[in-house]
């Protein structure tokens, strides 16, 4: 590189730096101007670029013209790294947003649960939270959203892997792969397919309960700050005496539950598909309160036995008039990720991450999720996924017998014995005297028709109209026999429900074959 060229580069750099310095950080947008804010925060602290092994990169290596290419380590490293930078994507909840903060206990529930992060009013536990649409390329997609919380407790990490709906799609986990495929893109056309979706729904009518929320007013939350979270499962917990209770988690936004209409969601989708992500980041960066209350529904073993519904059924919500909410604490998000890939893309939640006092869900779906999430993360992040900084149980003392494998291995348990049982001061196993066995719930075939009917009945006429409009919009592209099957099910739920869906389908304008979409 000639001296003149280097002088020009230096002049441009100094000029740009002086322009950036002229801005006042308080006038900058935390999202749009993040990189400008970074330059202001690092003013006077410009670092020297290096290769990954720490060697400073001479500026002459930033140009390869008329030079020996394969002797340029900077060129070789940046290009070979680029080819390998991606890791496998999540097959659901692919895109997402996240932030960090704390959970604070506000009410004492030590009489039902001995988990150490719940043992003292006012106690704070660090948390990481990830929000995500299950499918789709936009935050405003009308489909369930994930709401997952990782608690970094003194007894290890506890992951609450929830959703923004109080119920799940199916009860029998063997159906889960088919649900994912039916709601994914058609294998031939690579487009989302109404026939596939509604064929699955109508052949598995227990799933209609979740779609009452998806197609209802709560289907598109007004950003993540206004989104409610649910733990879905009925969790078994126990206290220090070994007494068993059962709880369902509710996460309620302090900003209020607010929602978009379909029209508003579609408009925002076109304008900014990252709107929820942008709003969350902006609110935290601007110092706004971003918080939720955590409450639980509590049941005894006797409640479980005498209930007239299957308490463990994830396609049913537990009636609040019988099992009212009991406040537990609050979660506050006050830090954005410093690096999205390191802290959010690698952030992994697994239902099997439990702590003493929280025994797990008592249903078959929970058992399946314990396996499926763990297996998916081994594939995506590797066998040492919990050694990644954001997943590491930072507040617990970790002494595992796992060794070696794909990086990161951290200290790899140093020089301690790598097998058990051993005679050489290897880690010993604990024993909780009063720890109960997990209750094995006897699960009946799904039957939530009465609850779906009550949900429809409790809606105002306007809410029902919006629900039906959204159902018709989704169902109308389907073939006639699937539409008829859906109408039959809606009629069994409520005759008026079925009649109004039928009327909406008759008045809908179905696109004619080969008529063209854009011409």
Per-residue pLDDT at 18 exceeds 60: no
Helices within 364-479 (DSSP H only):
364-381, 449-458, 461-475
pLDDT tens-digit series, residues 324-344:
999 999 999 999 999 999 999
pLDDT attached to residue 89: 86
Q: Are 380 and 90 in contact (CB under 8 A)?
A: yes
Q: Are 164 and 141 in contact (CB under 8 A)?
A: no
> Scanning the structure block, which residue is given the tokens 């995500």?
132
pLDDT attached to residue 223: 96
Residue 11 tokens read as 């002049």
State percent of the chain over pLDDT 90: 70
pLDDT attached to residue 378: 94
CA distances from 330 to 281, 289, 327, 338 (A): 19, 12, 9, 24
pLDDT tens-digit series, residues 441-475:
888 888 899 999 999 999 999 999 999 999 999 99
72 or 232: which leads in pLDDT = 232
42 or 309: which leads in pLDDT = 309
Over residues 429-433, mean pLDDT: 85
Give the H/E segment covering residue 485.
helix 480-493
pLDDT attached to residue 277: 96
Per-residue pLDDT at 381 exceeds 80: yes
47 or 169: which leads in pLDDT = 169
Question: What is the number of alpha carbons within 13 Å of residue 56 lying toward its C-beta?
Answer: 5
Residue 420 annotated as binding site? no
pLDDT attached to residue 1: 44
3-state SS string for 43-55:
CCCCCCCECCCCC
pLDDT attached to residue 35: 83
Per-residue pLDDT at 401 exceeds 50: yes
User: 157, 287, 135, 296: which is closest to 229 by C-alpha?
Assistant: 296
Over residues 265-269, mean pLDDT: 93
Q: Give the separation between CA 162 and CA 180, rounded to whole angstroms.
A: 17
**97-120 burial code (b ≥16 CB/10 A, e <16):** bbbbbbbbbeeebeebbbbbbbbe
pLDDT attached to residue 14: 52
Give the H/E segment covering residue 103.
strand 97-105
Q: Give the separation between CA 33 and CA 292, rounded to whole angstroms.
A: 28
Over residues 94-99, mean pLDDT: 93
Using the 8-state DSSP alphabet, how is residue 296 labeled? E
Paired strand residues for 157: 152
Cα angle, residue 207 at apex, residues 204 and 213 outer, rounded to 5°: 160
pLDDT tens-digit series, residues 237-252:
999 999 999 999 999 9
Q: Give the separation between CA 314 and CA 336, rounded to whole angstroms.
A: 32
Over residues 375-395, mean pLDDT: 94
pLDDT attached to residue 516: 64
Over residues 490-503, mean pLDDT: 98
pLDDT attached to residue 22: 58
Over residues 81-101, mean pLDDT: 90
Least-confidence region, from 112-116, 312-316, 512-516: 512-516
pLDDT attached to residue 63: 86
11 or 426: which leads in pLDDT = 426
pLDDT attached to residue 460: 97
What class has domain 97-391?
mainly beta
- Residue 506 region, left (φ>0) first, then alpha (ψ -120 to 50), else beta? alpha
Q: Give the separation between CA 201 and CA 485, rounded to whole angstroms.
A: 10
pLDDT attached to residue 47: 87
Question: What is the SS3 assignment for 403?
Answer: coil
Cα 93 off chain centre by:
6
Per-residue pLDDT at 181 exceeds 80: yes
pLDDT attached to residue 74: 85
Q: Where are the domains of the chain?
A: 1-46, 49-85, 97-391, 459-506
pLDDT tens-digit series, residues 53-85:
888 988 888 888 888 888 888 888 888 888 888
pLDDT tens-digit series, residues 24-55:
777 898 988 888 888 888 887 778 888 888 88
pLDDT attached to residue 291: 99
Q: Give the separation between CA 172 and CA 10, rounded to whole angstroms.
A: 65
Over residues 228-241, mean pLDDT: 97
12 or 346: which leads in pLDDT = 346
Per-residue pLDDT at 3 exceeds 70: no
């Amino acid at each position: 590189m000639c001296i003149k060229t280097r002088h020009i580069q230096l002049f441009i750099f100094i000029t740009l730096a002086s322009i950036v310095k002229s801005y006042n950080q308080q006038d900058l947008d935390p999202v749009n101007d993040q990189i400008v804010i970074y330059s202001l925060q690092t003013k006077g602290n410009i670092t020297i670029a290096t290769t990954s092994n720490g060697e400073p990169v001479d500026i002459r290596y930033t140009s390869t013209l008329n030079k020996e290419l394969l002797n340029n380590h900077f060129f070789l490293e940046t290009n070979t790294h680029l080819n390998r930078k991606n890791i496998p994507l999540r097959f659901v909840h692919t895109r997402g947003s996240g932030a960090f903060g704390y959970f604070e206990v506000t009410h004492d529930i030590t009489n039902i649960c001995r988990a150490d992060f719940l043992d003292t009013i006012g106690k704070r536990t660090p948390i990481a939270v990830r929000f995500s649409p299950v499918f789709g390329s936009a935050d405003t997609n009308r489909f369930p959203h994930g709401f997952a919380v990782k608690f970094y407790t003194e007894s290890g990490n506890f992951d609450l892997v929830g959703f923004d709906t109080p119920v799940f799609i199916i009860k029998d986990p063997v159906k889960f792969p088919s649900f994912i495929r039916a709601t994914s893109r058609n294998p031939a056309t690579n487009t989302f397919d109404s026939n596939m979706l509604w064929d699955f729904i109508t052949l598995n009518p227990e799933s209609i309960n979740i779609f009452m929320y998806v197609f209802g007013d709560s289907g598109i939350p007004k950003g993540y700050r206004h989104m409610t979270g649910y733990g879905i499962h009925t969790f078994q917990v126990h206290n220090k005496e070994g007494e068993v209770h059962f709880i369902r988690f509710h996460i309620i936004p302090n900003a209020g539950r607010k929602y978009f209409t379909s029209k508003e969601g579609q408009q925002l989708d076109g304008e900014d598909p990252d709107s929820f992500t942008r709003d969350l980041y902006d609110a935290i960066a601007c110092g706004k309160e971003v918080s939720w209350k955590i409450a639980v529904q509590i049941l005894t073993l006797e409640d479980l036995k005498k209930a007239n519904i299957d308490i463990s059924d994830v396609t049913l919500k537990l009636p609040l008039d019988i099992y009212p909410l009991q406040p537990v604490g609050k979660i506050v998000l006050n830090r954005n990720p410093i690096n999205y890939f390191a802290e959010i893309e690698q952030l992994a939640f697994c239902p099997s991450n439990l702590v003493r006092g929280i025994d797990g869900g008592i249903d078959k779906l929970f058992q399946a999720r314990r396996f499926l999430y763990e297996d998916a993360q081994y594939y995506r992040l590797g066998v040492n996924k919990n050694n990644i900084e954001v997943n590491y149980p930072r507040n617990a003392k970790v002494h595992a017998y796992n060794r070696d494998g794909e990086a990161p291995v951290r200290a790899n348990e140093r020089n301690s014995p790598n097998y058990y049982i051993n005679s050489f001061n290897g880690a010993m196993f604990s024993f909780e005297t009063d720890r109960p066995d997990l209750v094995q719930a006897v699960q009946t075939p799904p039957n939530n028709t009465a609850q779906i009917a009550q949900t429809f009945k409790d809606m105002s006429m306007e809410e029902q109209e919006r629900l039906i409009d959204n159902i018709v919009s989704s169902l109308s592209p389907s073939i006639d026999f699937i539409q008829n099957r859906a109408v039959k099910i809606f009629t069994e739920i409520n005759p008026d429900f079925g009649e109004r869906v039928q009327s909406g389908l008759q008045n809908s304008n179905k696109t004619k074959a080969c008529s063209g979409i854009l011409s």
